[in-house]
Each structure stands twice: as C-alpha cells, then as structure tokens.
Amino acid sequence: MGGGQYSFDVAREARATRARRRQGAFDYSGYSADAQAAEARNQGKVHPLLDVRGQTRECMNEQAVVVALDVTRSRGDDAKVVYEKLPTLIGWLELHGYLPDAAISFAAVGDANADQAPVQISQWERDNRLDAALSKVWLEEGGGGTGEESYELAAYFYARHTRMQLTEQGRKGYFFFVGDEGFYPQVSREQVKQYLGHDIPADIPSAQIFKELQERFHVFLVLPKQSFEQRKADIDAEIAQRVRAAGGQYDDVDVRVSLIWNTRDDLDLHVIAPSGEEIWFNQKVSQCGGALDVDRNVRGETLKPVENVRWPKGIAPQGEYQVIVQNYGFHEKAQAPIDYRVELEVNGQVQHFNNTISLKREVGGESNQQVTRFRFDPAQRGAQAESDVYAKYNDAVVRKQWSGVLPDERILLLDDPQDIIEVMVGVVGLMEQRTDLESYLAALDENEAVAEDKRHERHSKISRAIGNLALGALPAAGFSLGDLPEG
C-alpha cells in the first residue's frame, strides 16, 4: 500500500462540498442505518478500513509516518483539525521536500476499559485514500474517567504487527501521539486478543512496548494543554451528559449509580439500599432518600439511554449497597447481547464496571447481573479532596509518566490545538535537517498569510512546542554546543 499521488484539487473540492452541505467529515458512528441489513445492528464496530483484528499493516514507501489521535471526549476535535489540514501536512512533506515519498497511517485511540472502539488503525497511504481512512474514524468521544487511555495498545500494534521497508533498511519512521492523558502500565493480554486479534502469552509492561516502538520510529507526544476546569468537564462526559440531559442529578451526591448502553433495548437499574429497600422502575423512591430519577427506553425511544439512582449529599445512610442490572426486554429485532457500563460514585470516588447482558437472550429476572456491592460511610464524607479525584489529569502527572518512556524534548507542549500539523511538520523538518527553527517559522508566514499581531503569538506557541527539540537537533546537524555564540 502507499502508492499513488495525493490530489490537492480533489481534497479541496471534497472539503468545500462538505462545507456547502454543512456536513462533517466524521459521519461514521459504529451504527448501521439499515435495520434490515444482514447484521441488523452494527453497533460498536470499527469501520473495515480501520479494523486491524488479526491483521498487519505494511509500508513499502521510503518514509512512514503515524499520527495516533486520542478520540475521547477531551480530544475528539483534534481529528477534525488534522482532517482539515491534511493537505497542508502532505504539501510540506512532499512539495517542500521534508519527507518525500512518505506514506501516512492514522490511528484513533480510546479507552479499552470503557469504549467500544478503543483502537482504530488505517493502512499506510499517500494518495486521497488518506481522506477516506481518516474520515471513517469513529469519534466515540468516550473515555474511562481514570486519566489513562489505551495508547499502549496502539504502540503494541505498530511495534509488533507492522512491516516497513525503511526498517529493513535500518531507518526509522515518525510516530506522533496526540493526546493529553497517560497510558495504562500494562499491555493487556485480553485486550490484545479482543481488539487486535492477536495472542500473547501474558501482559506486557508498557515501558517495554514503548521501547520496542522507538526501535522502529522517532516517537513524539504532542500534548495539547488544557485548564484544570476543562479537564474536569471532559472526564467521562458521556455519562454526565446523558444524566443531565435527562434531568437526573449527577453532582453533589453521596452515592450515585449511573447505567448507560447503546441500543433501544430496555435495561433496568436496581439498587438495594442498606435498609433492604430496592430502588427500581416499580419503586423509584426509597424511604432512606434514594431515587431513580432517570428511566430510559421503556418504549425504545433512544440509542443513547441512561438510568440514574442517587442519594443527594448528606442523605445516604451508612451500610452496604448492592447494584444489579436487568434486561427488562428487547426492542431491537436482533435480540443480541447488550454491552453496558455502570459508573459508581461514592464519596467523590468514581469506579466503572463494563459487562454484557443477555448472552443467551435472557430477559427479566433470569437476566439479572450483580454488578457490585459496596459500603458507604458518612464519616468519610468530604474526606477525599476534589484534586485527588482528578489527580491523574494534571499536566505534570501526565508529563512525568510519558517522560519515563520518551525523552523530555520529544514531549511537545502545545498551546493551541489548531497548530498540531504545523508542530509535526516542524519536527520532521528539524529531524531531517531540512530547516532550522527560524527558517521554518519564516516559511510558515510565506505559506499562510497571518496578521502581524497574530504572527508573533503563533511563532511563540510553535517555538515553545519544538524549541527544545531544535536545540537538541543542533549537534546532529553538524554543530556542537560550543559553536554557539556567547549569550
């Protein structure tokens, strides 16, 4: 793969047509619009162009580039930026001679502990099939709410299940992660089997996989910066959005149990309180202050249903609680097993539970699944500070973990996500010794007209992102630090 030439005229017309029709590029959502198709429900399926289960990816071009995008809630728009600026990326690599004969592979990264499509990987291409592959990424915009995404799964695939001509020639490709969270410490054997279709004998330390990846690629992390408030708003926003949109209480709770699934079937949430009262659709309010305040899909009205049981802050009684999920009845013709997710919040601590119900088409009491038991202690109310709940999302924490597997100068802090492409191009130009930082910034101004007052700001942002790399590249370009003038 990777043959042909990219037509900029075709690319511009495709983007202009979508704009005229007010149509986004990312129209794939893991669902089939045809209910009568052979598979009546195509829920949770990676598009065939991006499904790598049991496969490898090959690149016979002189150069190979990977752009691995976090497509969870916090970073879903980055893929849209890359799509719109893809002609710019190819133009710099090809026309400016930064990386001639380069093929690009796109990866979309989610959370294998929470999402339905945590790894999506395209073939390496260099023509307009790149547009088709990128536009078929499922922007699931999920995430697990733990401050970690499954970057290590994507790293595993490219480290062990790709074949590149340049590797056989002793050269390296370029690999750009674009994301703002950490990775899981282990490559899970079960997840590799489920999502990539390969067997490994045991879990693998992620540090080992990132080491293997760097034997084949120059690896970088582009880390878009966000405020703490923005990060909090994005943490598992899908569940929060569904609960709030349905009028349920998501915040200011002692105990909250939220259930989501993605079919028209009617799942029911049951929570048994310490008093023995069972809260469910037939008894929505308990004497101890708990309530089922959201109950969806009684008539199969939505593909994004939610149920929510909560005790407001200061109300929940001490003792043991039990959470049960039941399939009350199918509304989908397929009557297929249903994936669901439960989010449990107790005294500010959040846990997630993922499972599948009705494997044998059970309904009613026969389908009951106990999700968890837990204890609530009012004495612990407020004991955990908010900052602890979100600690793993802190920039310093994220950078520290990545710096354990990547050199510091290859962790690129990005002030403006609109500059993702410009930063990646600058990295390649510096690494390939096609330019220096000052010349590159000047070339950017020539390539794209920017108002004078915005030019300095843009230069500053890009310099902050790749400035350390530029300094580190000087010796490789034939200089030593001693060659620099004083001051």
Could you give the angle at the alpha carbon of 329 between the alpha carbons of 138 and 301, nearest 5°? 55
The whole-number pLDDT of residue 31 equals 52
Query: Which 3 state secondary structure label does DSSP give 313?
Result: coil
Check if CATH label 3.40.50.410 holds for domain 8-229+395-477: yes
User: Tens digits of per-residue pLDDT, 49-103?
Assistant: 999 999 999 999 999 999 999 998 767 688 889 999 999 999 999 888 899 899 9
The whole-number pLDDT of residue 64 equals 96
Q: How confident is the model at residue 162 (pLDDT cuts 50, 70, 90)?
A: very high
Q: Please tell me the distance from the alpha carbon of residue 47 to that of residue 30, in angstroms, as a whole number.
A: 7
Tally of CB atoms within 10 A around 187: 27
Query: Which 3 state secondary structure label does DSSP give 349?
Result: strand
- The CATH number of the domain covering residues in 248-377: 2.60.60
Q: What is the mean pLDDT of residues 467-476?
A: 63
**Can you state the angle between helices 437-447 and 452-473, rounded to 10 degrees?**
150
DSSP 485: P
Q: How confident is the model at residue 317 (pLDDT cuts 50, 70, 90)?
A: very high
Ranges of each domain in the chain = 8-229+395-477, 248-377
Q: What is the mean pLDDT of residues 256-274?
A: 95
Examine the pLDDT at 389 and tell me if it is beyond 70. Answer: no
E strand residue ranges, 206-264: 217-224, 253-261
Q: What is the mean pLDDT of residues 181-209?
A: 95
Query: Which 3 state secondary structure label does DSSP give 29?
Result: coil
User: Tens digits of per-residue pLDDT, 36-60?
Assistant: 333 333 345 889 999 999 999 999 9
Q: Please tell me the distance from the alpha carbon of residue 413 to that of residue 420, in angstroms, as a whole number.
A: 10
